[in-house]
Every structure is written in structure tokens, then in C-alpha cells.
Amino acid sequence: MASFTKRNGNWRVRIRRTGYPSLTKSFQTKAQAIKWSQDMERRLGEGCTPTFPSEPFVHVSDVLKRYRERVTETKKGSSVESYRIRALERSWFGEIELKNLDSRHVADYRDQRLSEVTSGTVLKELGLLSVIINNAISEWGLRSLIGNNPVSGTNKPRAPRPRNRRLEDDELKKLLKACSSPFFRAVILFAIETGMRRGEILSLTWENVYLEKRYVHLPDTKNGDSRDVPLSPMALELLRELPRNIRGDQVVFPIHYEALKSAWGRACSKAGIIDQRFHDLRHEATSRFFEKGLIVMEVAAITGHKDLRMLQRYTHLRAEDLARKME
């Protein structure tokens, strides 16, 4: 049976049938996805086992592209991983021939990226690259071409200390004033009010919004479980003021991941805010939950943290707030 999902502007179709491997492919239009699924299901009905045609692997970008299209698109929250892989594909690293790839190239890429981004980002990129190469070796039979995984033999940068960046009151006012659109402003406030992840916010649809009962339902989250997120009065007001069905979309916030990232960078720059990331808003929200007096289990139910120890780093309560509680 075929299932269709629209993700990142593309239609992904997955076919599952007992006794056969799962088949997945992405298309630009739903009509293309339906046509392909009908052809595959017809071939399955005839007793054939459809397979994808073999593709030549010459450059690193060939492996990156195939992994992005065949593996990444099947994952939850694929937009961030897809964005990282596309950046690698377009860089000089993607132009390297697989037969020549070794740890020196990985080390050069690591050093270049360390001059551009944080060590935490570099660690994530190297981890993703290692997974992709291991997959190419074990699943696509490229050991004879690649040999051992060159990422494994490369020194990794030291992991950064956990962030505890909070927004000051004046920073929030400046940030909201610098927003380029009402939708972007609403996304920022909604993130602070709910503690939802960026991907959860951008994938939220109106069918999962329950204004009368004051919560939104997240059917598919990062940790694999569904979650109901309660709505504060401000979050409720934000949703009620948003227009619906612009361009026929069912998403609550019709903003693409890359557009949001660009808008965030411009707003922070315009507001003069340094070292503030969008994910810090989740940290801000979680800290505010604790400041309102919620206990750990209540906060975990809202944020979706399975490991309660993870919440310890979110409880960076302001000293002045604690002092007021001691009066």
C-alpha cells in the first residue's frame, strides 16, 4: 500500500507490502508520485521485485545526493539534515573523486568550517558525513572505491560547553521590532510560549490545532512519540490572529526552514543581538516554565524530553527571580 507525504516542497511516496522491501522515492509533484507508485505496485502484483537502477558514483557529491534523496527524505525533521547535505554537495568537498577521498580532505574541511562556525556545528557535520560514508560502504558496495571511512581517522574538535544563552527583556523587544514580517514575529513568540522545536513549529498543521481545548497535537516528534502542547493565553491569541489557507496550505506557519534561518540572521543583526540562535528560544521557553513554578514532570510533558536529566541544563533561573521568591 502506498502512502504519500509532502515534505520540504516535495512529495514522498512509500510502498509497503508483506514479503517485499519497503520502496521510497521523492518527486516534485503528487501526480508523479502517484504514477510511480501505481507502476511499482503493478510490478509487485506481477511477482516482480522492483529495484532502483544502479547509479555511477564518481564524486563525493554523488554519494551525498543519493543519501539525501533515498535516506534523509524518509527521516523525521529531514529539512535540517537535507540543508546540511546540500551545502556539502555544493562545496569543494563534493567535487572530490571518491577514489581519492582520504582523511586529509576531511581534516581540511574540518579546519575550514572551524573558522566559520562553532565546534558543535562541525561535530554534527562530521558525524553526518561519517554516517553517509558508512552507509555507502555497507549498503551500496563502495568499500572497494572508498576503503575505510576517512572520517573515523580524523581528529574531532572538542565539544562545546552546553549553552545557557537567555534573552534579556530589551533584546526580545528589539528582536520583535526587527522582524521582517508578521508571520516571522508570530513564530518567535510562539516558540517562546510553547517551547516547541523549530521543525515542530514549521510542520504544525491546522488540523492539529485545538483552540477550544487550548492545545496543539504533534503526531510525529523528534523522539518518536506524539505530544500535546498546552497553549498559553498569548500562544492562543497568536493562533487566532493568524490567517488560514494562504496559497491553500494547511501549515500554520507557511515559512520554509531556509527562509526562517535567513530572517532570523537578519533580525538579530538589525537588532544588534550577538550569539543568539533560534534553538535558544526553546531553552528560553523551558527556563520560563520553571520560573512560573512548573515541576520537572510538567515541563517534560510540554517539551517532550524523555531524559529528565536533560532538563537540568535548562533550569538556568535568573538570580534576581530567585531572590524575589526568597522574600
Query: Tell me: the pLDDT tens digits for 198-242?
Result: 989 998 999 999 999 999 999 877 777 789 999 999 999 999 998
6 assigned to some structural domain = yes
Q: Residues 100, 206: one domain?
A: no
Range of the domain at 37: 2-45
Return the C-alpha cell found at 201. Answer: 513549529
Q: CB-hemisphere CA count at 13 Å for 251?
A: 17
Q: How many domains does the chain have?
A: 3
Give domain status of residue 155, yes or no: no
One domain, residues 27 and 87: no
Residues 217 and 264 in one domain: yes
Report pLDDT digits (tens) over 251-270: 899 888 889 999 999 999 99
CB 14 within 8 A of CB 74: yes
Looking at the fold, whether 71 and 186 belong to one and the same domain comes out as no
Specify whether the CB–CB gap between 254 and 229 falls below 8 A: no
- At 157-171, the pLDDT tens digits run 988 777 778 888 799
Same-domain pairing of 250 and 321: yes
Q: What does the alpha-carbon distance between residue 314 and residue 166 come to, in Å, rounded to a whole number?
A: 10
Catalytic residues: 197, 222, 279, 282, 305, 314
Q: Give the list of residues 6+ apart from residue 87 with CB closer than 8 angstroms, or none.
A: none
Q: 192 is written with which cell numbers? A: 517562546
Report the range of poorest mean pLDDT among 12-21, 79-88, 229-238, 274-283.
12-21
Question: How far apart (Å, rounded) are the C-alpha atoms in residues 202 and 208?
Answer: 13
Could you report the per-residue pLDDT of 289-319, keeping only the tens digit for each? 988 888 888 888 898 887 777 777 665 555 6
**Nearest alpha carbon to residue 101 among 157, 151, 156:** 151
Q: Cβ distance 179 to 278 under 8 Å?
A: no
The set of residues, in sequence order, having a beta carbon less than 8 Å from that of 312 and lying 6+ positions away, is none
Is residue 160 one of the residues assigned to a domain?
A: no
pTM over 0.75: no
Which CATH number belongs to the domain containing residue 212 in this structure?
1.10.443.10
